[in-house]
Chain A
Amino acid sequence: MSELLVGTKKGLFALEGSPGEGFDVTARAFAGEPVEYAVRDPWSGRVFAAVISPFYGPKIFLADDVDGGWEQAAGVALPEGGDAALERIWVIVPGEADGLLYAGGDPGVLFESHDGGASWELSRGLWEHPTRPSWRPGGGGLCLHSISTWPGDPRRLAIGISAAGVWVTEDGGETWERGNEGLVARYVPDDTSPDDVPLCIHRIHRARTRPERMFMQFHGGVYRSDDAGASWNDIGAGLPSDFGFPLVLDPTDPDSAYVIPLNADMDRVTPEGRVRVYETRDAGETWTPRGDGLPQEHAYLTVLREAFDRAGDDDGFELYFGATSGDVFASGDAGATWSAAATRLPPVYSVSARR
């Protein structure tokens, strides 16, 4: 039995079930409110939700379960009296120690909790980085959407910011270095100074069994790093489009990753009206479409960057993704075959899965 936490335009939905056997909606929280992301912390078992109220601002809430008892987390705000306000929380990631969690948001901010998510602190090292005035937003804002921990080492992180690039820390966030060598931004002239190129990272993930290996979905480009994010190699050849948002890695094989291509930056739907997940098993040398059970005609779906996840850390892992159409799809065999887990939900912003 697997649990899906689905963040949508109109609330958080909890689903339970198994791929191929059906899923039930077991709870709905924050009815009517946009829930950008939700996750269950494997250390404590508690659920966290990033609720982005257009009226009352972005907040993180926590509870033992989706069906009630939500409390607001403290400290999720920028410094008072400044000239910037927190716009959105994009992602919440459990850390590499009990009680440690991270949250990424707009404007390019990182929060940390050391008490299991009850209270949070702004990462000052990133907030006060001297290059921050030059950071420029992507279409979705200046979003810190990806946080990749280093297995067993809480001091090491890689983060992705659209459109301020990849940043890496090895000292718990006190200092940060850029990790953008090799990225090619086709949306600016070739002769644009590197210092003036906004780097629209869409998603990054780290291979847990070989942590220096990372994969990236870029705004036009799929990349692989073999040096923990310092530099990147283009591995997009063979995909119907190298534009897309989400990315998931095989938990056991550092050469394997999954992307969901979208047609183009000017047409952000699945190519040719066919929904396909693409898999690589050779670190991006080749890509194979996996669409058995997914709609293969008249299906123009948009899958957002936080809406693709896996459940399980062994070679029998499951894959899930949701679309802004309100559909959620599930695979119980690492992407070989797919079935519908939910239909007619509100537009899906995120999917977080646990088995």
Chain B
Amino acid sequence: MPTVNLRGPLKQMAGNRGEHAADGETVVALLKNLERAQPAVAGWILDECGDIRRHINVFVNGEPAQAATAVGAADRVDVLPAISGGSR
């Protein structure tokens, strides 16, 4: 099963644990499953449209990924705030 790494407030809300096992054939499917398993992070990574929030970056095995990027069983998925964010 893929591993999802969370940092900062996401880690704190997910039981103060950075590493989570979560299934999903694509990035967005995996993140939706993560939200079901860790309800406190619901709405923090994905918005109501089911899209990855615009200033959240997701990487699969260190490579920039999109919502539809495929995820393999042994893959590592990192969820990080993007440098494009920051308050206006």
Which A positions have Cβ atoms within 8 angstroms of B?
A: 9-10, 33-34, 52, 54-57, 59, 72, 77-86
Contacts and interface: CB of A to CB of B under 8 A. Distances in A.
12 contacts: A54-B87, A55-B53, A55-B56, A55-B82, A55-B85, A57-B43, A77-B43, A80-B48, A81-B50, A83-B49, A85-B47, A85-B51
A329 B56 CA distance: 37
Nearest to A54: B85
Given A34-B87, A34-B88, A77-B43, A55 B55 contact: yes
B86 to A, nearest CB: 6
Nearest to A83: B49
A136 B54 CA distance: 22
Contact of B9 (A56, A77, A82, A86): A56
Contacts of A56: 9-10, 43-45, 53, 56
Interface in B8-55: 9-10, 40, 43-45, 47-51, 53, 55
Contact of A85 (B9, B10, B49, B87): B49
B55 A54 contact: yes
Given A55-B82, A84-B49, 13 more contacts: A33-B87, A34-B87, A55-B53, A56-B45, A57-B47, A72-B40, A77-B48, A78-B48, A81-B50, A82-B48, A82-B49, A85-B48, A86-B48
B81 interface: yes
Contact of A54 (B40, B50, B51, B86): B86
B44 A57 contact: yes
A31 to B, nearest CB: 12
Nearest to A140: B88
Given A80-B48, A85-B47, A57 B53 contact: yes
Nearest to B85: A54
A332 B81 CA distance: 43
Interface in B44-88: 44-45, 47-51, 53, 55-56, 81-82, 85-88
Contacts of B81: 55
B41 to A, nearest CB: 9
Nearest 3 A/B pairs, CB to CB:
A85-B47, A34-B87, A54-B85
A59 B10 CA distance: 14
Contacts of B50: 80-81
Nearest to A87: B47
Contacts of B56: 55-56
Contacts of A33: 87
A106 to B, nearest CB: 13
A349 to B, nearest CB: 10
Contacts of B55: 54-55
A82 B50 CA distance: 8
Contacts of B44: 56-57
A259 B9 CA distance: 39
